[in-house]
């Protein structure tokens, strides 16, 4: 094994603000604590929560690194006390509460998974935050079952492209919204049965037509705002809506009588503040139920662009432009 240095390059946030506040700086290499592994990174995914943290709106939970970055992939180079799940030299990917934009990061071994066979470490670095989020919200909280209908907003995003593939793989009829013809075509290529251009089509009308007037069983929403009321209209009786973000704002006027008359369930969750043990449950289910799909080539992260670690600011500019289809990844 290559000796572990005392310091590393990481991306710090100079002050809350635009992408330009992301700057390379020298930091101590973290040391793994009990149950943790130290990973020499090859890749780190870029996600919307990273943008919110940079802007000053999503602070890391207590004890987490202030370095942005929630998903990593690389090689295990050291193990803390009691960490025996992965061997030194093994390639892994993992979910972290911070610290991903760096040359090294620590992750609890229960929140890490073997890098899927057949995928590169760059692809593996695009998996954890997205697949953990999709699995817990669609299948654990949303209880999606084969034969049901599923609508995801933001179908061309990292979350959306993952949600389409997994919902389809588990037997759902999939609808997705996106903001251009190219993005809609990308959604269909990933398995969406219906791709709805929200700039020119009414997703409520399309959802009802696609389900013969019944409405959809499950909606995954990251938009919020006026979509909340429209989701209630698009949902089937006893439908479920799972909220994971609010790109159009967390406040809305909604007709809550639909919630009662249709017996809807509207829930939501965040991932980053959850405990290591809670995330470990998600990781175990992913390894059992999703890793075989990844290794068989039935689904995979869609990589739109990669940037060297030092160009994290450019990666954030692309993220905020919404011009991407799929994931943006930093390479180390």
Give tens-digit pLDDT for 26-63. 999 999 999 999 999 999 999 999 999 999 999 999 99
Cβ burial of 247 (10 Å; 0-12, 13-18, 19+) is middle
CATH class assigned to 7-127+272-331 = alpha beta
Q: Residue 17, by phi and psi: left (phi above 0), alpha (psi -120 to 50) or beta? A: left
Residue pair 237/263 in contact (Cβ under 8 Å)? The answer is yes
Whether residue 119 is predicted with pLDDT greater than 80 in this model: the reply is: yes
Specify the pairing of strand 149-152 against strand 173-178. parallel
Mean pLDDT along residues 267-296: 97
Averaged pLDDT, 131-158: 98
Q: What is the CA radius of gyration of the chain?
A: 20
Length of the chain: 332
How is 116-146 classified by DSSP, letter by letter?
PTTS-HHHHTTSHHHHHHHIIIIIIIS---T
Q: Are strands 303-308 and 265-268 parallel, antiparallel or unpaired?
A: unpaired
3-state secondary structure of 84: coil
Q: Under DSSP, is residue 270 helix (H, G, I), strand (E, B) or coil?
A: coil
CA distances from 67 to 96, 310, 318 (A): 11, 13, 20
CATH 3.90.180.10 range(s) for the chain read 7-127+272-331
In the structure, what pLDDT confidence band is assigned to residue 2 with cuts at 50, 70 and 90?
confident
Q: What is the pLDDT of residue 235?
A: 98
Q: DSSP secondary-structure letter at 29?
A: P
Find where tokens 């609508």 sit: 151
Average pLDDT over residues 272-285: 97
Please tell me whether residue 274 adopts helix, strand or coil conformation.
coil
Pick the CATH number of 131-268 from 1.10.1060.10, 3.10.450.50, 3.40.50.2300, 3.40.50.720: 3.40.50.720
- Residues of each domain in the chain carrying CATH 3.40.50.720: 131-268
Q: For 286-306, what is the mean pLDDT?
A: 97
- Interval 207-225: pLDDT, tens: 999 999 999 999 999 999 9
pLDDT at 1 (0 to 100): 67
């Amino acid at each position: 094994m290559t000796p572990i240095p005392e310091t590393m390059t990481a991306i710090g946030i100079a002050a809350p603000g635009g992408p330009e506040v992301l700057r390379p700086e020298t930091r101590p290499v973290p040391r793994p604590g009990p149950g943790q592994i130290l990973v020499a990174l090859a890749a780190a995914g870029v996600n919307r929560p990273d943008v919110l943290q940079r802007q000053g709106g999503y602070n890391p939970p207590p004890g987490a690194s202030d370095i942005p970055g929630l998903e990593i992939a690389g090689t295990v180079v050291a193990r803390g006390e009691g960490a025996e799940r992965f061997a030194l030299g093994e390639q892994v990917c993992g979910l972290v509460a911070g610290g991903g934009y760096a040359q090294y990061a620590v992750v609890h071994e229960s929140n890490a998974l073997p890098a899927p066979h057949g995928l590169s470490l760059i692809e593996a670095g695009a998996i954890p935050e997205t697949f953990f989020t999709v699995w817990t919200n669609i299948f654990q909280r949303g209880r999606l079952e084969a034969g049901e209908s599923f609508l995801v907003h933001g179908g061309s995003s990292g979350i959306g492209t993952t949600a389409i593939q997994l919902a389809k793989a588990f037997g759902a009829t999939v609808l997705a919204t996106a903001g251009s013809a190219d993005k809609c075509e990308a959604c269909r290529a990933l398995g969406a049965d219906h791709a709805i251009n929200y700039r020119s089509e009414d997703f409520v009308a399309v959802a009802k037509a696609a389900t013969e007037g019944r409405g959809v069983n499950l909606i995954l929403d990251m938009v919020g705002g006026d979509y909340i009321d429209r989701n209630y209209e698009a949902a089937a009786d006893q439908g479920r809506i799972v909220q994971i973000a609010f790109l159009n704002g967390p406040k809305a006027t909604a007709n809550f009588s639909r919630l009662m008359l249709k017996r809807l369930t509207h829930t939501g969750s965040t991932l980053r503040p959850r405990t290591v043990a809670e995330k470990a449950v998600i990781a175990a289910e992913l390894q059992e139920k999703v890793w075989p799909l990844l290794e068989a080539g039935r689904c995979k992260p869609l990589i739109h662009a990669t940037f060297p670690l030092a160009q994290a600011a450019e990666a954030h500019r692309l993220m905020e432009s919404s011009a991407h289809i799929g994931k943006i990844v930093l390479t180390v």
